[in-house]
Amino acid sequence: MDINENNEGVNMKNITNSMPIMAILLFIFGLGTGCLIAEELSTEGGKDMGAEIIRVYAEDMPAARFIGKKYLDEDRVEGTYGHQWDEWHQHDWFNEITKQTDRDLKEWFAESESYIGLMRFKDGEPFEYWIGMFMPEGTTVPDGMSYIDFPTLKLGIGWVKGTMENIFFMCDPVYERLVTEGFQPVIDEQGAWWSLERYTCPRFTAPDENGQVILDHGYVLQFHVRCQSCYMIIDEPEKFGSEADGIASTDYCLYCYQNGSFVAEHTLEEAVEANIPWWRVEGDENDDAARERIRRVFPTLKRWKRE
């Protein structure tokens, strides 16, 4: 996995709204803790600090490009990344990201307009804290920002409810609760853990009558690979295609690619038409909606980028 700070990005497969209320809260409380200091400050169950985990669940996130900026431990100010979050709002960088696409982000992924604190931890390597947003695959990266391309992910999410003073140091309790509920976070192929803080409107931006808000904490539960011909999730080794020497393909499923060749030599438009039955969803009155979905996705895939 190659990491570069000049828009070259990271590919994990090989391993909005301005929210003014949120901006005010971020300036006041200086969020962006990073979970490395959570162990020292959290307590068992997360209740003694006045915060409570009110929900845990798994969700699927489509393949995405995370766009943002990376910070290290030495970038902390008084132990947090609050200063960096202030910079993001002062410079309106989140809006700069969302301007890079005309797609309906909510239609693409329900939580897509959230602001993200993305964390990477691996023993022996510097802790990374990224601030940014998840965007559709292939989204243009603004100057001065970097990106990480993620395959389809299964995330384990915990909602932490409390006041702004006590909802940030809850990574460990959320991890423990996920495991208790049967959701096991995993490491990537390089042995790194990925977790996130997700600031979502209105959960985080609209305090209740007791002044409490909800902050999402999350961990990656599974890294899914998508076939770069038909976009099918490849979640089992036997579903991968094969190269001419019999080695499993890293890009294609067995239905599209065998023995080093594509099973069907379609043009892009022929592939679009052939895949419509698998892309129709409940509520589609005809093939048009499925055809449009495929036409948005297929040109971003490795096989069809050449056309």
Provide DSSP, 195-259: EEEEE-TTTTTS--TTS-EEEEEEEEEEEPEEPTTT--EE-SGGGEEE-TTSPEEEEEETTTEET
Q: Strand 10-11 vs strand 146-150: parallel, antiparallel, or unpaired?
A: parallel
Rounded to the nearest angstrom, the gap between the alpha carbon of residue 27 and the centroid of all alpha carbons in its chain is 24
Dihedral sign from CA coordinates of 171, 176, 178, 183: positive
Question: Do 165 and 274 have their domain in common?
Answer: no
Q: Please check whether residue 36 lies inside any domain of the structure.
A: yes
Please tell me the total count of domains within the chain: 2
Question: Do 149 and 78 have their domain in common?
Answer: yes
Give the range of the structural domain holding residue 86, as residue numbers without chain letter: 10-223
Per-residue pLDDT averaged across 155-175, rounded? Answer: 92
Q: Please check whether residue 191 lies inside any domain of the structure.
A: yes
Question: Do 170 and 135 have their domain in common?
Answer: yes
- pLDDT band of residue 144 (cuts 50, 70, 90) is very high
- What is d(CA 211, CA 213) in angstroms, rounded to the nearest whole number? 7
Question: Do 130 and 243 have their domain in common?
Answer: no
Which residue is listed with tokens 């964390």? 119
The residue among 179, 204, 223 that closes a domain is 223
Question: Do 248 and 219 have their domain in common?
Answer: no
Judge if pTM exceeds 0.75. Answer: no
The residue among 203, 223, 243 that closes a domain is 223
Predicted pLDDT at 62 = 87
Checking if the pLDDT of 39 tops 50, the result is: no
Question: Do 173 and 250 have their domain in common?
Answer: no
Checking if the pLDDT of 145 tops 70, the result is: yes
Cα distances from 40 to residues 112, 164, 177, in angstroms, run: 31, 18, 18
Checking if the pLDDT of 146 tops 60, the result is: yes
Predicted pLDDT at 300 = 81
Residue 106's CATH number = 3.20.80.10
Question: Do 152 and 243 have their domain in common?
Answer: no
The residue among 189, 223, 257 that closes a domain is 223
Question: Do 126 and 267 have their domain in common?
Answer: no
Q: Please check whether residue 1 lies inside any domain of the structure.
A: no
Per-residue pLDDT averaged across 110-135, rounded? Answer: 96
